[in-house]
Structure 1
Amino acid sequence: MDDNKIRQYGDELYDAWRERRMLAPLREREPEITIEDAYRIQQRFVARRVEAGERIVGKKIGATSKPVQDFLGVYQPDFGMLTSGMVYQEGDTIDLGTLIQPKAEAELAFVLKEDLKGPGVTAMDVIRATDYVLPCFEIVDSRIRDWQIKIQDTVADNASCGVYVLGKTKGDPRALDITLAGMVLEKNGELFSTGVGAAVQGSPANAVAWLANTLGELGIPFRAGEVILSGSQSALVPVTDGDELVCTVGGLGSCRVKFSGRSAA
Structure 2
Amino acid sequence: MLNPELIKAADRLWSAAEHGQPCPPVRDVIAQAAGAGADPVALAYAIQQHNTERALGAGRRLAGRKIGLTSTVVQRQLGVDQPDFGMLFADMARQDGEEIDCGDVLQPKVEAEIALVLERDLPHAVHTVADVIRATAFALPAIEIVGSRIAGWDIRLTDTIADNASSGLFVLGTRPVSLSELDLVNCGMSMELAGEPVSVGAGAACLGNPLNAAVWLANTMSRVGAPLRAGDIILTGALGPMVTVQPGNVFTVRIEGLGAVTASFQATSKGDA
Per the normalisation by structure 2, the TM-score is: 0.91
Alignment of 1:198-213 (within 5 A): 198-213=204-219
**Equivalent AA in structure 2 for residue 251 of structure 1:** G
CA offsets per residue over residues 49-104 of structure 1, 9 Å max, x none?
A: 1111101110010010145547x746431000111220112021110112210100
The alpha-carbon deviation at position 264 of structure 1 amounts to 5.4
Residue in 1 aligned with 2:42? 36
Query: Which of 124, 127, 131 is matched with 1:125 structurally?
Result: 131
Distance 1:80 1:149 in 2: 15
Residue in 1 aligned with 2:19? 19
Alpha carbons of structure 1 residues 263 and 99: separation in structure 2 relative to 1, 3 Å: farther
Structure 1 gaps of 5+ residues are none
Residue in 1 aligned with 2:70? 64
Alignment of 1:1-265 (within 5 A): 2-32=2-32, 33=34, 34-66=40-72, 68-69=74-75, 73=78, 75=80, 76-260=82-266, 261-262=268-269
Q: Does the 8 Å contact 2:110/2:242 carry over to 1? A: yes
Alpha carbons of structure 1 residues 86 and 22: separation in structure 2 relative to 1, 3 Å: same
Distance 1:20 1:117 in 2: 37
Structure 1 stretches of 4+ with a deviation exceeding 6 A read none
Distance 1:99 1:111 in 2: 24
SS at match of 2:178: coil
The alpha-carbon deviation at position 133 of structure 1 amounts to 0.3
**Equivalent AA in structure 1 for residue 213 of structure 2:** A
Alpha carbons of structure 1 residues 176 and 186: separation in structure 2 relative to 1, 3 Å: same
The alpha-carbon deviation at position 252 of structure 1 amounts to 1.6
Distance 2:178 2:200 in 1: 22
Identity %: 42
Q: Does the 8 Å contact 1:108/1:135 carry over to 2? A: yes
Residue in 1 aligned with 2:37? none
Distance 2:109 2:250 in 1: 13
Q: Does the 8 Å contact 2:189/2:254 carry over to 1? A: yes
Per the normalisation by structure 1, the TM-score is: 0.94
Distance 2:88 2:2 in 1: 26
Distance 1:256 1:31 in 2: 40
CA offsets per residue over residues 134-180 of structure 1, 9 Å max, x none?
A: 00000000011111111000000000000000011211012211111
CA offsets per residue over residues 215-234 of structure 1, 9 Å max, x none?
A: 11111111111100000001
